[in-house]
Amino acid sequence: MTGPKPLVVVGDVLLDEDIEGVATRLAPDAPAPVVDVTGDRRHPGGAGLAAALAARGGRDVVLVTALGDDPASETVRRALSGRVGLLELPLHGTLPVKTRVLAGGRPVVRIDRGGGTPGEPDDAVRGALAGAHAVLVADYGRHTAGAVRASLEDVARHTPVVWDPHPRGEPPVPGARVVTPSAAEAVALCPGSAGTSAMSLGAFAERGARLAERWRAAGVAVTLGDRGVLLTRPGGGTPMLIPAPFRAGGDPCGAGDCFAAATVAALADGLLPEEALQRAVAEAAAFVAAGGAGNPGLWHAPAVPGPAPDPAADAFGLAEAVRARGGTVVATGGCFDLVHAGHVGLLESARRIGDCLIVCLNSDASVTRRKGAGRPLTPAADRARVLAALGSVDAVVVFGEDTPEAVLERLRPDVWVKGGDYSVQELPEAEVLRTWGGQAVVLPYLDGRSTTRLARRAARAAAAAVRPPPG
């Protein structure tokens, strides 16, 4: 009896190195910053990062790539051991190493060195591709995809293939389910656009459709950073824009790998391309908010973690990312059973205080204990979705206790906001905030609005509608 088919990632592995430090002065002999090093990290990049991300949650992933006998290749093997299966092509040369020097979390310079040529695949590689559940090609222009192109052309006839292209790489094989160029890659691969601004949505829709026709791909999804992803198909037609759930604001390094890996994993789960891209956009945004490829927790976490939380609701990762860049985390909480104008005004005011707003939402059981039988009127999943759709709200986290102290101890916001006629001294959360130097504040509340009043008004209106007319 055979096990489930694996997800196979094909592509070029790099070794990413981040040298971190602080820069407070210029060199005496040149107008260049002096970076005092505080630490460094090394981890697989390129197809290696994509494979590790695809394997999160315990998915069976096999990585087909070229590795050699050099120290960088050995570092990659150790980092991926226990996370993914490795099928190696011989590498004639050395593994590419990409070194970023960062000061205060921002890149100052990047240094690239090394490189080689992949050898021929063996029967194990061809067999893995033939038996794949889905395939991701992470092409970084280093020719691994070209070495196995014949097998990829066969696979694309019957298996979902996602192709993350590179301007110096191979064109996607015909029949690829989704091709995922970034905006810059789309411009490099298809520079001309007629009658529209070069960076407009119309121009990217035109490029995507032309690339889909050129490659004979089922769809081309152009990633547009904070604007989201634009899905186009051959022959034109109306494109689909899938916006990001929030402005991540973190380190975008590796976001494309995360997006492509999440897309192929969703297709392997049976989702339609449009559904797969929605999931992938949310996962990529959460990945960036949590620190991107440079997030130490990405590689220190267990190789096979438990089920991942909904990335669109990763309030804790967002709070950590905002704090890491020196921003102010604001949180508020409540039942939000029927969102009304009073809530909207409070949330808008709270968001203006800092750099992100996280809503701590009472669970259904918590609302029932607080408000009585018949409440909530709206289940927690729907309440969270409505709140997350507001432009003032960056993330929502649901808690099951009667009060939010436990979730606040995890979020550790700088400011906790409540609306109404409370005094700060009356807020039980104020004491918790003080333990890490946070501040509780009260904001004015739009008078005369409440969920209870709305519910009573609706009940009276419903009763009047069914009451028989007089006489």
Residues serving a catalytic function are: 257
Of residues 291, 376, 270, 386, the one with CA closest to residue 339: 386
Are 328 and 352 spatial neighbours (Cβ–Cβ below 8 Å)? no
Contacts of 250 (CB under 8 A, 6+ apart): 288, 289, 290, 291, 292, 321, 324, 325
Let me know how long the chain is.
471
- What is the residue type of 240? M
CA distance 353 to 348: 9
CA distance 44 to 30: 33
Pairing of strands 106-118, 85-103: antiparallel
Are 362 and 322 spatial neighbours (Cβ–Cβ below 8 Å)? no
CA distance 373 to 396: 24
Are 430 and 456 spatial neighbours (Cβ–Cβ below 8 Å)? no
